[in-house]
A = this chain, B = another copy of it.
């Protein structure tokens, strides 16, 4: 029944996601996660620092890849193109994970603390992209604006992608469409 590899980490993650969905994040204990996975609490803590890390373990990898995408973008690319290219480069990470992402989204939506953690993650991504743009020689306010615009597209795009059916457009297509919409929306700003 499981599509997870039967490794300890995967079993723990799957058990945790099931329990968070069934009982709520707050109401689930590490002991219950371990029991459902057929493992011990000690094994859980060998793989995850705490309950929350099951939901946020991908954040560091995501940030590293995004920064790498900024660093390796073509030298003559405009700042917003650099950010768009970096976001395209992380889209494949999510390709096979729409069911997980949907499950995760529902768990986070039900818990204010997790929502805060998600906001902090996104703010950290924007800050990392801004710094990587500075390192490419992009000045201010262009670096901050390009990074903030890109993370806004990622956030809105991810929501749309998660809510779409399995055969809907891929995340990079959704984000590409949103970059065009953003250009149209922002381009309507008057001179004031």
Q: Do B186 and A141 touch across chains, with their CB atoms under 8 A apart?
A: no
Q: Do B192 and A176 touch across chains, with their CB atoms under 8 A apart?
A: yes
Q: Which of A136-186 contact B (CB under 8 A)?
A: 141-142, 144-146, 148-149, 152-153, 155-156, 160, 176, 178-183, 185-186
Docked pose: A18 CA to B187 CA in angstroms: 43
How many copies of this kind of chain does the complex include? Answer: 2
Which residue of B144, B152, B183 is within 8 Å of A156 (Cβ)? Answer: B144
A84, CB-defined interface residue at 8 Å: yes
Residues of B with C-beta under 8 A to A176: 192
Residues of B with C-beta under 8 A to A78: 185, 188-189
Q: Do B119 and A141 touch across chains, with their CB atoms under 8 A apart?
A: no
A191, CB-defined interface residue at 8 Å: yes
How many residues from A make CB contacts under 8 Å with B?
37
Given A156-B148, A176-B192, A186-B186; A181-B142 close (CB under 8 Å): yes
Give min CB distance, A71 to chain B, whole Å: 19
Residues of B with C-beta under 8 A to A79: 185, 188
Q: Do B156 and A145 touch across chains, with their CB atoms under 8 A apart?
A: yes
A81, CB-defined interface residue at 8 Å: yes
Docked pose: A155 CA to B141 CA in angstroms: 11
Give min CB distance, A81 to chain B, whole Å: 6
Q: Do A182 and B186 touch across chains, with their CB atoms under 8 A apart?
A: yes
A8, CB-defined interface residue at 8 Å: no
Interface residues of chain A, those whose CB is within 8 Å of chain B, are: 78-81, 84, 88, 116, 119-120, 123, 141-142, 144-146, 148-149, 152-153, 155-156, 160, 176, 178-183, 185-192
- A182-B186, A183-B189 are known contacts; what are 7 more A-B pairs with Cβ within 8 Å? A79-B188, A141-B181, A144-B152, A145-B152, A145-B182, A148-B148, A148-B155
